[in-house]
Structures are given as structure tokens and as C-alpha cells.
Structure 1
Amino acid sequence: MENQNFAEAGMLIRKPVSEVFEAFVNPEVTTNFWFTKSSGKLEEGEEITWTWEMYGLDVPVRVSDVVNNEKIEIEWGNYDDMTRVVFTLKKISENETFVNVVNDLFKGNTDDMKKQIRDSTGGFNLVMAGCKAWLEHGINLNLIKDRFPMGK
């Protein structure tokens, strides 16, 4: 039986693949639509920390694999419960990129995993929509900040 324990989100972003790739590896761009601070860029073999100041949340991120303009693979979460996230970028045309993100390797009992998958699916859909709004229109929709306006 195929593993169905993963979250997935995808979005067409009407920008060149190099610009979309940079939006995910460079925190100077990513902080406009996802986390509020980062200890560094996503570079293969590095461990960094992403911060969501509005939630008082710091998350360790291990960068497993980076293929320029094609793929970013990380592990993130609590050290005992890290999950894998793989961003795949596909150039559709000179000014169109499809981004697919898969989050897997969830741990816990069935109910715990269902909650994690549900939360991750919703969260990554917001990240994709926020990235699209920022890159295509220069608008920060505050999607992540407004997901839990009273804190998590």
C-alpha cells in the first residue's frame, strides 16, 4: 500500500523560476510572506532557525538538498519529531513556475498524524498563496500572521 501520510500543496506563480527559487531560499524575500526572521539562507548542509515572532515560535531547519531553480529539501520541527519538506519547482514558461511542496515523515499515532497532515496542508496552501501575492503583486497578505490571530 502506498504511503498516504503526507501533506501537499501547489501553485502556479507567474514569475521566472529563478525568482521563485530565490523567494524560498533567501529570507529577505521569504519574510514577506511566511516567517518573520531567519538565521540564514537555505544552503545545503546548513542548519538554521526560522522564527514566527507573532507566535513566539522558533523552529530548527536542516537543509538536506538544494538544486538551483529545481528543488529544496529540508527537515524541520522539534528535533525528536522533525518532518521532511520538499519544494519542487518546474519552469512552465519564461515567466511561469509551478511550485509543489510535499511534507511527510510525520510521527505519532493515527490521530496525531491526521492533525499534523491537516495543519500542514492548510499551512502550505497559505504559504503558496502568500508567495504568489508577494511575487506577482508585491502584496503581503499577512496570511500566516492572521491564521491564528489570538496565538496558536
Structure 2
Amino acid sequence: MKDQTIIEAQMLIRKPASEVFDAFIDPEKTRHFWFTKASGKLEKGKTITWEWEMYKVSTQVIVKEIVPDEQITIAWNSPATTVEFIFNAVSADQTYVIIKNYGFGQQGADLVKEVMNNTGGFTTVLDGLKAYMEHGINLNLIADKFPAGK
């Protein structure tokens, strides 16, 4: 049975919703704050591979839903969970991004570990997104989260 736990991370990004949304759709932009390589842009119904080359890991992403400039819903990992990226336009040049992750198959200590890892991971993604979108800086947060040997 899938757990009903929902993890959530959020951040205000001082850019229009269309630009922030596109940063998640277009891997040439996403690679500046999250994964290093992707097999293509996110499109509804497609399965895309995301890679983190520094860790020699990848995951399959199934794009379940896209509402332009508002929401992206994917399934990913094994066992698969659902991730929703929600883009709320606060003003013409500010977007409140919420990432929700749910549908966990783990229980007990395994679930707690998964929730902690995913909450921290998505917070790091949003921190990197903010630096990239607002200041044009790639902070290398994902690569530096687990440097070689750690």
C-alpha cells in the first residue's frame, strides 16, 4: 500500500512563471541547477532519462501532466513516486514554486529516510534554481552535496 505522506519544498523566484516553468522543461536550463544531462525536454506522455554524471546515476521520468506555466507532474524513481512542480505567479515577475512528492511505498524508518532525503534534495534544487534564475549563477549545489569520497 502506498503511504499518504506528502513532502513539500517551496521557494519564491523573482522571475515570470513562464521563465521558471521553462527552466524545468528545458534540460539545457535545468542542468544549471539540478541534473547534468537529459534525453530530451519534458513533454506529456514521454519517458525521459535524467542523469547525474558525477554520481554515475540516472532515473527514468514519466511525464504524466503538463499545464503550461502552471504545473508539471512526473513519476520517477523505483519504487515510483509522483512529483508535482507547481508554479504560482505572484506577480508579473515573481513565481512561487512548490514541489510536492508523494506515493511512497516505504514504511517506518525507511519512509523517514526517504522523506528526509527528498525534502533536502528538492530544497537544494530550489536553492540552485533561485541562484541560477535570479543571478545567472550555477552554485554546483547538487555536485557538491556528496563530493567524491563522502
TM-score by length of 2: 0.95
Matches within 5 A, 1:131-146: 131-146=129-144
Are 2:95 and 1:97 aligned?
Answer: yes
The answer to whether the 8 A contact 2:35-2:52 is kept is: yes
Counterpart CA distance in 2 for 1:151 and 1:126 is: 20
Unaligned ranges ≥5, structure 2? none
Are 2:70 and 1:70 aligned?
Answer: yes
TM-score by length of 1: 0.94
Q: Which moved more, 1:50-59 or 1:108-117?
A: 108-117
Cross-structure match for 1:150: 148
Are 2:115 and 1:121 aligned?
Answer: no
The answer to whether the 8 A contact 2:17-2:93 is kept is: yes
Secondary structure at 1:48's aligned position in 2?
Answer: strand
Cross-structure match for 1:9: 9
Q: How far did residue 96 of structure 1 move?
A: 0.2
The answer to whether the 8 A contact 2:51-2:59 is kept is: yes
Secondary structure at 1:146's aligned position in 2?
Answer: helix
Counterpart CA distance in 2 for 1:124 and 1:86 is: 11
Task: Return closer, same or farther for 1:19/1:104 CA change in 2, 3 Å cut-off.
Answer: same
Q: How far did residue 5 of structure 1 move?
A: 1.4
Q: Percent identity?
A: 51
The answer to whether the 8 A contact 2:4-2:104 is kept is: no
Secondary structure at 1:129's aligned position in 2?
Answer: helix
Q: How far did residue 4 of structure 1 move?
A: 5.7
The answer to whether the 8 A contact 1:5-1:105 is kept is: yes
Cross-structure match for 1:59: 59
The answer to whether the 8 A contact 2:87-2:95 is kept is: yes
Counterpart CA distance in 2 for 1:37 and 1:116 is: 24
Secondary structure at 1:144's aligned position in 2?
Answer: helix
Are 2:35 and 1:41 aligned?
Answer: no
